[in-house]
């Protein structure tokens, strides 16, 4: 039995969204500064671990922008909420926050239909859908800004560090976000309109490591006012049929 959205109301978020946002942004920035000055030895397994850690933090930066779109980072201060969303979207490869917000609300309104900008008609394989997804969101100005930023950062940091710890994690993060937040939840047939989304099995460790609990995607569509760190509670309650 799946409960209706009206049967689950979130506790007051207060300033906790700001604390989570600050933790993610400071962790991402601190790790980036450390890694851009890190001496790379390709035989050192820490290099590859650091790439994965920075990828996960990049994903957290985007998730924070996403929660700002839903107004739950600073729910009592719209200007601050949108300011954090704008900052996070910009740090994530110069994404346009207002454009992201418009398209994401369309995704929720028309989930897995022809009017959903995240959906690829015909349910193709992962790579074809991923390519379509990127075309929907990446603009020429973003590519230009990334190229300019890269060439400026090269004046102070080694090229291989920029590639390994700034560029590669950003690209891997798009795979992570797309695979766990769009492809798995929305591919194939659905039986829960209008959300047209499914969730991964209940496991908070893998759900956090995979994509900040966005594998609990049916819950996100049922209760989009919940921040990412409240999704485990929603998943538990749906799993228990409450």
Q: Helices 97-109 and 126-137 sit at what angle, rounded to 10 degrees? A: 130
The predicted structure's pLDDT at residue 61: 96
| pLDDT tens digits for range 14-31 | 788 899 999 999 999 999
The chain-wide mean pLDDT, for the chain, equals: 84
Question: What is the domain partition of the chain in residue ranges?
Answer: 5-239
Q: Helices 45-69 and 16-36 sit at what angle, rounded to 10 degrees? A: 150
Kindly report the backbone phi and psi dihedral angles of residue 183, in degrees, each rounded to the nearest multiple of 5, phi listed first: -65, -55
| pLDDT tens digits for range 198-209 | 788 888 999 999
| pLDDT tens digits for range 90-143 | 999 898 898 888 887 777 776 666 666 666 665 567 787 888 778 778 788 888
User: Which residues lie closer than 8 Å to 210 by C-beta, 6 or more apart?
Assistant: 176, 180, 200
DSSP 35-94: HHTSPP-TT-HHHHHHHHHHHHHHHHHHHHHHHHHTT-SSTT-HHHHHHHHHHHHHHTTT
This prediction's pTM = 0.87
Q: Where are the beta strands (DSSP E) in the chain?
A: none
């Amino acid at each position: 039995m799946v409960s209706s959205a009206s049967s689950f109301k979130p506790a007051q978020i207060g300033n906790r969204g700001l604390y989570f946002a600050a933790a993610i942004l400071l962790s991402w920035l601190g790790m980036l500064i450390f890694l851009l000055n890190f001496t790379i030895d390709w035989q050192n397994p820490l290099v590859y671990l650091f790439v994965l850690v920075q990828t996960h933090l990049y994903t957290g930066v985007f998730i924070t922008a996403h929660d700002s779109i839903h107004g739950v980072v600073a729910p009592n201060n719209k200007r601050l909420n949108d300011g954090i969303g704008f900052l996070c979207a910009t740090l994530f490869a110069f994404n346009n926050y207002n454009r992201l917000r418009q398209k994401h609300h369309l995704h929720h309104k028309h989930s897995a239909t022809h009017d959903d900008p995240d959906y690829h008609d015909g349910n193709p394989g992962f790579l074809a859908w991923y390519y379509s997804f990127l075309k929907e969101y990446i603009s020429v100005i973003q590519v230009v800004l990334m190229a300019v930023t890269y060439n400026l950062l090269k004046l102070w940091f080694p090229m291989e560090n920029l590639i390994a710890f700034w560029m590669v994690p950003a690209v891997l993060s798009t795979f992570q976000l797309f695979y766990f937040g769009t492809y798995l939840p929305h591919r194939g047939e659905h039986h829960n309109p209008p959300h047209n989304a499914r969730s991964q099995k209940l496991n908070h460790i893998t759900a956090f490591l995979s994509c900040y609990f966005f594998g609990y995607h049916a819950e996100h569509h049922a209760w989009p006012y919940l921040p990412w760190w409240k999704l485990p509670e929603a998943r538990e309650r749906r799993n228990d049929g409450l």
